[in-house]
Structure 1
Amino acid sequence: MARLADAALGGLAGRKELFLQELLAYCRQPSVAATGEGMEAMAGLVSRTLERLGAEVEWWHGPGAFPVIYGRLERGAPVTLLFYNHYDVQPPEPLERWTSPPFEPRLAGDRLHARGVADDKGALLARLHAVELLQQVAGGIPVNVIFLVEGGEEVGSPGLGRLLSAHRRQLQADGCLWEGGEIGAHGRLEVEAGCKGMLYVELVVRGPREDLHSSLAGLAPNPVWHLLEALRTLYDPGSGRILVDGFYDRVRPPSPEELSLVDAYPLDEGALAQAWGLVELESRRQGRTAPRALFVEPTCNVSGIFAGYAGPGSKTVLPSEARARVDFRLVPNQSASDCLRKLEHHLARRGFRDVRVVDGGSEDPGQSPLDHPLVERVAAAARETYGVDPILKPRSAGTGPAALFVDTLGLPVVNGPGVAYHGSGPHAPDEHIRLGDYWRGIEHVVRLLAGFDAEDGLLKGRPQ
């Protein structure tokens, strides 16, 4: 309802400084799941914010995982929306590439720099601030709201599936709003109905018992060469095809609707290549379109290679071990476990039985119907907030545990309301957001929630 949204947003100007200070506090608190740094303290911050809003809060614990924070605001409404977010962040390294320390938030004009501000603390807090405005300024929210905030998204969400199954009754909802969208280079918000999956592995090759003097290279096999030979069997840079035997067997071809959306996606390939400091994009060199490579095709990427000495100065060694971290982005109908088996068999058949494959945290693709009413409601609220139609995409090129919500809970998952933009640099040094996007992110959620009235049901009709 427009009046409810306008009433809530009328209180935003007077609360901007308070909201900004809370965002700074979130960003000051390290919460690196990969190392465990600051995780319990960050969970406490999220929990206290939810309690301040009057939510029923629980901490859910799973084996080998950081706490999942559950917060419920029950209004006895016919519609329940679940917000999924995460409070963990990527490791900040390389630290020398940051203009300022990653956990000391820095304001530079309209930009706020800090690790996690774009992924995902800003989006989480914008949603909480939207609820606060509706409750404390406009008199209440017209839907029941669940916040599920995990601490392991950046490390593959270990144990989350078991927790969702165990708490299925508490998580019954009409739809799930995913972790947060962004403004693309085209200047419009992007709305997605799913995300790619991922198989993330480490390939390990052992050589001599310990590092040797490099003068012995004519006698002892170097595990780096063997690892590179194994990697070369996985992917063809000339065509962009993944060479793992049977890798494409279960790929569901994109529907005509998906292809229509993808082919209409406004991506300036030349400008993107220039922004990245490249001569041309990999997809163009291979004769493929960038949007199809991003949104409907699997990918294979080497995330890192580790061996020998890489410190300052020189040290001539023959390494005792070589490791490579490889991620495969998966599309609908593929499963991470099936692709892992195919990778292991592929390596074994090519003489690489000695290459150990370690699953580093993998997730299946998650996909919701593009014509679900929640997609239309998110788009309608975005249109009202930004004054222009959002860009609809079948799925994100990135990965998250969306499949658990789609398959375990039976929920449609829609990504849209967010605070980032195409240049925010999540996972990179100097990650940042523009404060104007933060305030609009709050407005988008306010207008989305206010669009439901007391008699409304999510599946009844279409948003007007």
Structure 2
Amino acid sequence: MEDLFRYLDDHLGEALRELQELCRLPTVSAQGKAIEETAEWVAARLHALGFEAEVLPKPREGNPVVYAYQAGDSPRTLLFYDHYDVQPPEPLELWSSPPFQPTLREGKLFGRGVSDNKGNIIARLYAIRAWREVRGGLPCSVKFCIEGDEEIGSPEMEEFVAEHRELLKADACLWEGGGVTWDGRPQLTLGVKGLLYVELAARTIDRDAHSSWGTVLPNAAWRLVWALATIKGPDERVRIDGFYEQVRPPTPQELAAVDAMPDEEEETLRSYGIREFVAGLSPREARRRHIFDPTATVDGLLSGYTGPGPKTVLPAEALAKMDFRLVPDQDPLDLLEKLRRHLEREGYGDIEVRLLSAERPARTPVDHPIVQMARETLRRVYGKEPVVVPSMAGTGPLYPFVSTLGLPTIDFGVGYPDTRIHAPDENIRVEDFLRGAKAVVALLEDFARAG
């Protein structure tokens, strides 16, 4: 491994410049920006590394997927899943430097997508390049599936995977990327939560009115706030009938893995400027809840006048965006119907519920052989015991890869706890980027030998 690691050390500057070039493309899927340009950029880089690469459409809607394949010495095949799209950069005024002008300072690279997920794409290509340049080829066969709308819920991804089942056939999958803990231990994540994302809309009158009419006219903002208050209580429990019915209890191995995770809750509280978690949860309770519990979150509210100074208005319309993070075996479409029935029963059947995104949860078992193999890989590269996380608290289109393709899936990457993905000043530490690439180099060899 030392010859490969030395190559990565010697060519770090080149890899960072390539990452900066990719991150200059404003690939905001929510706004439809730079999609085709970025897909072609990624496909060209893969082709230059010896891959058979092509840009494939999704079945009906959604952005194109970059697919690539390269044969290796081992008959085993490792599939890399990544995405080339990024989150919107707003609010722009909170960035220390322009989001699409990636900037190096104090050992960190700042810019939208430097971690999520362009940084992980480049780290993986950097590892592939090391194998080809130093050893002349890959130890195992490698496929890439890089989509362009993960940040808007991966529309049609289940259909795409089903349609291209043979093309994507592999022995295991390395997911888009994670990072290290506050104390530098690599995290090995084995699953994702699902997602139900909805828009709730209230309309009470034909047009906004003077607020004096609050005596007799219905206010859309109040109507929506009252409806939202029926969905979740101050005890943090979701009040939709049947919401928790399908929740699969964590296994003893999953509980043990979470209990073995480092106690970083105080750091988390400090980083968000608060003193305690909701409901007075203890650190252990918070950790278990964060991994294993579903959520109901109001993401945004819009109604009436919110500009500077007063404006006395009774709003005719109100809008809320809401997401529900789901755990195995919850079904987002089943819960969508339960949400609609709940609002009807509570007297808010007039609230329009629009589905924006739905993804199912998925996990790889903690005791799967590939998990042990990856733990040994990460232990060797980082010199520290990896932290096994049964599921990330976020969401990705993992379900069809685990269910349709039957792939055990693991996840590690180039981030760290203050990476600030989805927020202003997204960043990575250069040392984490380098170490993450070395972990991919080592994984390729260990995976080939395991077969």
CA apart distance, 1:10: 2.0
- The CA distance in 2 between the partners of 1:300 and 1:221, in whole Å, is 26
Shift of the 76–10 alpha-carbon distance from structure 1 to 2, 3 Å rule, reads closer
Which residue in the other structure is 1:389 paired with? 385
User: Which has the higher mean CA deviation after the structures are superposed, 130-139 or 6-15?
Assistant: 6-15
CA contact (8 A) 1:188 1:388 kept: yes
Residue number in structure 1 paired with 2:163: 166
TM-score, length-scaled by structure 1: 0.94
| Pair 1:191-2:188 in alignment | yes
In structure 1, list runs of 5 or more residues that go unmatched.
459-464
Distance 1:241 1:260 in 2: 24
Counterpart of 1:133, as a letter, is: A
Do 1:60 and 1:163's aligned partners in 2 also have CA atoms closer than 8 Å? Answer: no
Determine the C-alpha separation between the residues in 2 that align with 1:185 and 1:284. Answer: 23
Equivalent position to 1:46, from 33, 42, 57? 42
Rounded to whole Å, the distance in 2 between the matches of 1:133 and 1:55 is: 14
Runs (4+) of structure 1 exceeding 4 A deviation are 285-288
Q: Where does residue 443 of structure 1 map in the other structure?
A: 438
Shift of 1:99: 1.2
Within 5 Å, which residues of 2 pair with 1:63-82?
Answer: 63-75=60-72, 77-82=74-79
Q: 2:85 aligns with which of 73, 76, 88?
A: 88
Map residues 146-225 of structure 1 onto 2, 5 A cutoff.
146-225=143-222
Change (3 A) 1:182 1:287: closer
Q: Distance in 2 between matches of 1:313 and 1:107?
A: 40
Residue of structure 1 equivalent to 2:111: 114
Q: Per the alignment, do residues 287 and 124 of structure 1 end up closer, same or farther by CA in structure 2, a change over 3 Å counting?
A: closer
Q: Quick check: 1:427 aligned with 2:416?
A: no
**Partner of residue 403, structure 2:** 407
Matches within 5 A, 1:279-290: 279-285=275-281, 289-290=285-286
Cα distance in 1 for residues equivalent to 2:92 and 2:310: 22
In structure 1, what is the Cα distance between the partners aligned to 2:255 and 2:279?
A: 17
Instruction: Look up the SS of the partner of 2:350 in the other structure.
Output: coil
> Is 1:351 equivalent to 2:354 in the alignment?
no
Which residue, out of 98, 101, 113, partners 2:98?
A: 101
Give deviations 1:84-112, integer Å, cap 9, x for gaps. 00001111111111111111111111011
Change beyond 3 A, Cα 1:283–1:183: farther
- How many residues are paired up? 450
Distance 1:294 1:353, change over 3 A: same
Give the 3-state SS of the residue equivalent to 1:299 in structure 2. coil
Alignment partners' CA distance in 1, 2:284 and 2:12: 45
**Could you tell me the percent identity over the aligned residues?**
45
What residue is the counterpart of 1:231 in the other structure? 228
Distance 2:312 2:430 in 1: 49
> Distance in 2 between the 1:194 and 1:70 partners?
22
Residue 395 of structure 1: how far off its partner (Å): 0.9
Kindly state the Cα deviation for residue 7 of structure 1 after the two structures are TM-superposed.
2.2
Answer whether contact 1:383 1:389 (CA < 8 A) is retained: yes
Tell me if 1:20 matches 2:50: no
Structure 2 match to 1:311: 307
Aligned with residue 317 of structure 2, among 317, 321, 334: 321
Alignment of 1:121-136 (within 5 A): 121-136=118-133
Provide the C-alpha distance between the structure 1 equivalents of 2:281 and 2:391, rounded to a whole number of angstroms: 24
Secondary structure in structure 2 of the residue aligned to 1:133: helix
Which string of whole-angstrom CA distances, capped at 9 and with x for unpartnered residues, describes residues 126-152 of structure 1? 011100100112221111000100001
Instruction: Provide, for residues 233-289 of structure 1, a one-character-per-residue CA deviation record: whole Å limited to 9, x for no partner.
Output: 111232x21111110111111111111111222233333212211131115359981
Output the CA distance in 2 between the equivalents of 1:371 and 1:288.
Answer: 22
CA distance in 2, matches of 1:218, 1:39: 50
Quick one: which amino acid aligns to residue 367 of structure 1?
R
Instruction: Say if 2:263 and 2:283, in contact at 8 Å, map to a contact too.
Output: no
Q: Which residue of 2 aligns with 1:461?
A: none
2:250 maps to 254
Note the C-alpha offset of 1:232.
0.9
| Aligned counterpart in structure 1 of residue 237 of structure 2, from 237, 241, 247 | 241
| Residue 296 (structure 2) aligns with | 300
Cα-to-partner distance string for 1:145-188 (whole Å, 9 max, x where unaligned): 00100001010101111111111111110011010011122421
Q: 1:283, 1:293 within 8 Å by CA — same for their partners in 2?
A: no
CA contact (8 A) 1:283 1:290 kept: no
- CA separation in 2, counterparts of 1:35 and 1:361? 16
Paired residue type of 1:410: G
**Counterpart amino acid of 1:173?**
A
| C-alpha deviation, 1:393, in angstroms | 1.4
Give distance in 2, aligned partners of 1:363 and 1:283. 28
Gaps of 5+ in 2: none
Amino acid in the other structure paired with 2:234: P
Matched residues in 2 for 1:180 and 1:44: separation?
22
Please report how far the alpha carbon of residue 328 of structure 1 lies from its aligned counterpart in structure 2 after TM superposition.
Answer: 1.0
SS in 2 for 1:359: strand
Q: Give 1:39 deviation, angstroms.
A: 1.3
Cα distance in 1, alignment partners of residues 205 and 283 from structure 2: 43
Once the two structures are superposed, residues 387-408 of structure 1 have per-residue CA deviations (whole angstroms, 9 ceiling, x without a partner) of: 0111011111111011111111
Matched-pair contact (CA < 8 Å) for 1:368–1:414: yes
Contact 1:205 1:354 in 2 (8 A): yes
The partner residue of 1:272 within 268, 275, 281 is: 268
Code of the aligned partner of 2:129:
E
Task: Give the Cα–Cα distance (whole angstroms) in 1 for the partners of residues 170 and 327 of structure 2.
Answer: 25
Is the 8 Å Cα contact of residues 78 and 457 (structure 1) preserved in structure 2?
no
Q: 1:283 to 1:81 in 2, by over 3 A?
A: farther
| Alpha-carbon distance, 1:75 to partner | 2.6
* Structure 1 CA distance for aligned equivalents of residues 282 and 225 of structure 2: 22
Q: Distance in 1 between matches of 2:353 and 2:65?
A: 29
Q: CA deviation at 1:316?
A: 2.5
Where 2:131 maps in the other structure, the secondary structure is: helix
Q: Compute the TM-score of the two structures, normalised by the length of structure 2.
A: 0.97
**Structure 1 residue 320: deviation in Å?**
1.8
Find the aligned partners of 2:122 and 2:50 in 1 and give their Cα distance: 15
